[in-house]
Structure 1
Amino acid sequence: MPVDGQAVTEKRTFSRTTSVSLTIDAPPAAVWKLLTDAQHYPDWNSTIVSLKGNISPEGKLELVSTLDPSRTFKLKIKDFNPPTRLVWGDALGQRTYTLSGTNAGQTLFEMTEKIGGPVFPLFASRIPPFDASFEQFAADLKAAAERAA
């Protein structure tokens, strides 16, 4: 079982999956509010350079990450189920956010990204590891949600 806030990556020939989870001392609604406010991501999330668009059903996003600030990822919202599940992605990958409330009023936050496909082995070596970025994303979200709660 992974340590709270520590990312884990599973590599396969045609895909790579990175996940992180942690407990946030705030209710799911407070965490959801942060996750669905694209305009303010750079205010609380040090892994995001910019995020433009709408995080809503059928929304479209343009994301620039600190992992590759020269590239803009064009993403679509694939699942939007407040306040428990959000999925965005493109043809090569999908990021899933899951929020589960606890009896203590906390939120179990889980984030998983799977990238891959038939041509994945051709470019896999050029994709940087996500572990440190995922850990920082989760830590930033935790800090922001706990400040707001």
Structure 2
Amino acid sequence: MFDRTVETTVDILAPPEVVWAVLIDNAAWPEWNPTLVKCEGQLEPGQRLAVTAHMPGRSAWTFKPTVLTVEPNSELAWRGSLPIPGLFAGRHYFRLETEGASACRLVHGEQFSGLLPLLMGGLLSDTEKGFHAMNAALKARAEARAGVAQE
């Protein structure tokens, strides 16, 4: 079995509550999110989502993960897999770590497992680029909501 994690971080000059509000408003993702361009469904544990991803240099695709964790102002996670056990599974997560009274760090990643990730080197690299792009867009939107001047 192969396991690989793609993990990115970004420091955001906004309280976790503000970042969380942007993150869980999945209906608004098409307005600002360059990577996860659409997310339909309830962000509640056990619920199934329809998420459309568009990684740099790749065509968009839709997958249907199940929500695992929704801890307000702290963590959102879901898991997707292929129907054949052991072939592919991914646990996508967003964690917010408090950095003082008015800032936080977003830890955004995915843990891949199964046989298929062995063949996904280029896609994993593009996934990391996509996560960085989403992080930057989330940072800009949350900081604008928090009244932080944009450079």
What is the number of residues matched between the two proteins? 136
Equivalent residue number for residue 14 of structure 1:
2
Instruction: Select the residue among 106, 130, 134 that pairs with 1:133.
Output: 130
Identity of matched residues, %: 29
CA distance in 1, matches of 2:122, 2:131: 18
Deviation per CA, 1:86-111, whole angstroms, max 9, x where unpaired?
Answer: 11121210111110112241011101
Equivalent residue number for residue 113 of structure 2:
116
Equivalent residue number for residue 87 of structure 1:
77
8 Å CA contact 2:6–2:124 kept in 1: the answer is no
**Cα gap change, 1:79 to 1:121, in 2 (>3 Å):** closer
CA distance in 2, matches of 1:21, 1:121: 22
1:106 is aligned with what amino acid? A
CA distance in 2, matches of 1:116, 1:29: 31
Tell me the SS of whatever aligns to 2:20.
helix
Instruction: Select the residue among 33, 46, 50 that pairs with 1:62.
Output: 50
CA distance in 1, matches of 2:117, 2:71: 33
CA distance in 1, matches of 2:68, 2:104: 22
8 Å CA contact 2:45–2:66 kept in 1: the answer is no
**Cα gap change, 1:101 to 1:122, in 2 (>3 Å):** closer
**Cα gap change, 1:140 to 1:108, in 2 (>3 Å):** same
Tell me the SS of whatever aligns to 2:22.
helix
1:93-108 equivalent positions in 2, closer than 5 A: 93-108=90-105
Q: TM-score, normalised by structure 2?
A: 0.81
Is 1:75 matched up with 2:65? yes
Q: TM-score, normalised by structure 1?
A: 0.82
Deviation per CA, 1:70-90, whole angstroms, max 9, x where unpaired?
Answer: 521101111111110111121
8 Å CA contact 1:49–1:69 kept in 2: the answer is no
**Cα gap change, 1:26 to 1:70, in 2 (>3 Å):** closer
CA distance in 2, matches of 1:50, 1:31: 18
